[in-house]
């Protein structure tokens, strides 16, 4: 799978522009880019996650390159965190401009049927559960 990390891009619906600093892949089949706008007077500017279908490549691609991504775990894999034993299924994969890969792990519902919060972990923190 190839990702366009570092490319300048524009959101077609609202004109928001920025550099692609991350991309996620979710089990629903949707995918999103994380766009970071240029800094303004050294102030932090919030990023925006946008579905890939609404992002157009910018005219200036000098900073961009295609990155070949190989995920260790697949969407739907059952995993456990090696340290805190958090268990669940992988529902999203994230790749960042820094080269970091993270996974969203959904533990499902508790014994009362309440939805529990998902966890976010690096590849090194996870292993396949038995």
Per-residue 3-state assignment (H helix, E strand, C coil) for the chain: CEECCCCEEEECCCCCEEEEEEEEEECCCCEEEEEECCCECCECCCCEEEEHHHEEECCCCCCCCCEECCCCCCCCCEEEECCCCCEEEEEEEEEECCCCEEEEEECCECCCCCECCCEEEEHHHEEECC
- Which pLDDT score, from 0 to 100, does residue 67 have? 62
* pLDDT, average across residues 22-42: 77
- Which pLDDT score, from 0 to 100, does residue 104 have? 92
**Using one digit for the tens of pLDDT, what is the confidence trace for 60-112?**
434 455 566 788 999 999 999 999 999 999 999 988 877 788 999 999 998 99
Percentage of the chain exceeding pLDDT 70? 79
- Which pLDDT score, from 0 to 100, does residue 21 have? 83
Tell me the pTM: 0.70
- Which pLDDT score, from 0 to 100, does residue 40 have? 65
- Which pLDDT score, from 0 to 100, does residue 54 have? 65
């Amino acid at each position: 799978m190839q990702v366009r990390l570092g490319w300048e891009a524009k959101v077609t619906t609202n004109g928001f522009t920025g550099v692609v600093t991350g991309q996620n892949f979710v089990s629903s089949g949707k995918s999103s880019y994380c766009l970071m706008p240029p800094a303004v007077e050294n102030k932090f500017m919030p990023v925006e996650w946008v579905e890939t279908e609404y992002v157009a490549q910018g005219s200036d691609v000098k900073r961009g390159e295609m990155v070949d991504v190989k995920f260790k775990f697949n969407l739907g894999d059952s995993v456990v965190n090696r340290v805190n034993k958090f268990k669940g299924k992988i529902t999203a994969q994230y790749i960042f401009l820094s080269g970091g890969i993270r996974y969203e792990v959904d533990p499902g519902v508790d014994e009362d049927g309440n939805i529990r919060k998902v966890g976010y972990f690096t590849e090194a923190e996870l292993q396949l559960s038995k």
